[in-house]
Amino acid sequence: MAKEKQFVKDVADMEVDFPQWYTDVILKTELVDYGPVKGTMVIRPYGYAIWENIQNELNKRFKKVGVKNAYFPLLIPESYLKKEAEHVEGFAPEVAVVTHAGGNKLQEPLVIRPTSETIICDMFAKWMESYRDLPIIINQWANVMRWEKTTRPFLRTSEFLWQEGHTVHATHEEAEAETQLMLNVYKEFAENALAIPVLTGKKTEKEKFAGAVATYGMEAMMLDGKSLQAGTSHYLGQNFAKSFNMKFLDKDGELKYGYSSSWGVSTRLIGALIMAHGDQRGLVIPPVVAPIQVVIIPVAMHKEGVLDKANELKQAFENAGIRVELDSRDASPGWKFNEWEMKGVPVRVEVGPRDIENGKMMVMRRDTLEKQEYALGDVNAILDLLKVVQSNMLEKSRKMRDSRIKEADSIEGILQAVETKNFVKAPWCGCRECEDKIKEQTQATSRIISEDSAENKVCAVCGKKAEKVVVYARAY
Ranking 10-24, 77-91, 172-186, 252-266 by mean pLDDT, the lowest is 77-91
91 pLDDT more than 90: no
197, exposed or middle or buried, with CB in 10 Å at 0-12, 13-18, 19+? buried
Q: How many Cβ atoms from other residues are within 10 Å of residue 150's Cβ?
A: 7
2 pLDDT more than 90: no
Pairing of the two strands 294-298 and 347-351: parallel
pLDDT tens-digit map of 245-283: 999 999 999 999 999 999 999 999 999 999 999 999 999
Q: Where are the beta strands (DSSP E) in 134-226?
A: 136-145, 159-169, 198-202, 214-221
Q: Which structural domains are found in the chain, ordered by start?
A: 3-277 (3.30.930.10), 294-388 (3.40.50.800), 405-473 (3.30.110.30)
Pairing of the two strands 423-428 and 405-407: parallel
7 pLDDT more than 70: no
Return the pLDDT at 6: 46
Q: Give the integer Cα–Cα distance in Å for 410 and 84.
A: 38
For residues 443, 449, 450, 456, the Cα torsion angle rounded to the nearest 10 degrees is 90
Q: Give the integer Cα–Cα distance in Å for 347 and 385.
A: 8
Of the candidates 226, 237, 250, the residue with the CA atom closest to the CA atom of residue 404: 226
4 pLDDT more than 80: no
- Per-residue pLDDT band at 8 (split at 50, 70, 90): low
Pairing of the two strands 255-257 and 294-298: unpaired
pLDDT tens-digit map of 435-468: 999 999 999 999 999 999 999 999 999 999 999 9
